[in-house]
Amino acid sequence: MTKASRISRSFTEIADLLAEGTGEPAGCFAAAFAEGACEVRLAASDECVTAEMPDPREVQLAIEMMVTTLFDVLRDTRLEPLGERIAWGVVHSFHKVASGLEGEADHAARKLGELVRENDGSEIANATIEEAQTLCRGLDEAVEAVACMRDHAAQMFHAETGHPWSAPRATLTSGKRTASVIAAADFLAARRQRRIEAQAPSGPIVLFSGGQVWEDHARIWGELDAIRTRIPAMILATTAQDKGCDAIAAAWAARSGVRLVAFTLDRRLGKRAGFARNEAMMRLHPVEAVVCEGSGLQSHLARLVRSGGVPAHFIAADATRTRHHG
């Protein structure tokens, strides 16, 4: 089959699916694009919007077409090596929009909190609170939708390249309370809980760290597969390196559908940043750890997990050596 026919077929197949309206959207899309409040706004200066959300199945297919067709267009051409870089940028554009919206949502939530605290029970104050709550709802809804689109684009990137996409380093009582204030306070509490779950998900934590030079992914995947068999609900916490052991572990998590918490360095701490990161990871109270041979930072983490009595697996670069502790 020629490249042109492959591209034509991909457009045709997706167009047919859209025309037929068959197939159910993925769970992420069904939830993120579900109809919520009757009206929302995306900026304080905007009028309320009452239009419907986009069709989740159409959005899902559009994301798939956007990423996979890009690779098809460049495949077998001299620009094929650029496909991954361009596709990374496509995913990153969704990430930037989602991050910007999240910042706006946080600002709106803080403003709503101030209005709740300063409420005097007047009709004007209640109306202002309701407007602020409408803005928060709209921004939260937009964050979830765009983040879902980003995550699906990242899945398509992973399917095409064989490794996961990763972002660059850059979770009362008062007599004046009225029905509007109570509703707003409940909304803020629910919003905080959603954010907490997204940034500090509940579940047994398994720590992972290793050197930046590592070729044998099968040993790492085998160890993680064995742990997941014992701990199906595990969450993997890594030291967030973009190559070597951490990249291999991130690819395993993407393949296995395991939640991953990436601990980046706080560069403000200078030479102590890596050790502070290890200590922060230990404060998650991990139930198990995997430490691959690497630098002094891996040795430091190994000492912490031993002293903390955490069951651990130490994988040496030498394929004949893997030790288990605890």
CATH topology for the 205-325 domain: Rossmann fold (3.40.50)
Given a cut of 80, is residue 82 above it in pLDDT? Answer: yes
The pLDDT, as a whole number, for residue 182 is 64
The overall average pLDDT reported for the chain is 82
pLDDT of 227: 96
pLDDT of residue 176: 53
Q: Is 46 strand, coil or helix?
A: coil
pTM confidence score:
0.64
* pLDDT surpassing 90 at residue 1: no
Helix 296-307 vs helix 273-282: angle between axes, to the nearest 10 degrees? Answer: 30
Residue 43, pLDDT score: 83
- pLDDT tens for each residue of 115-166: 888 888 788 888 888 888 889 889 988 988 998 899 889 888 988 988 778 7
Asked whether the beta carbons of 55 and 23 are under 8 A apart, the reply is: no
**The pLDDT value given to residue 320:** 58
DSSP string, 64-108: HHHHHHHHHHHTTSTTGGGHHHHHHHHHHHHHHHHHHHHHHHHHH
Cβ pair 287, 263 in contact under 8 A: no
pLDDT digits (tens, 9 = 90+) for 94-121: 989 988 998 999 899 888 988 888 888 7
Is the distance from CB of 207 to CB of 241 less than 8 angstroms? no
**Which amino acid type is present at position 26?**
A
Banded pLDDT at 34 (limits 50, 70, 90): confident
What is the average pLDDT across 178-187?
67
Domain ranges of the chain: 3-199, 205-325
189 by Cβ neighbours in 10 Å (0-12 / 13-18 / 19+) ranks as exposed
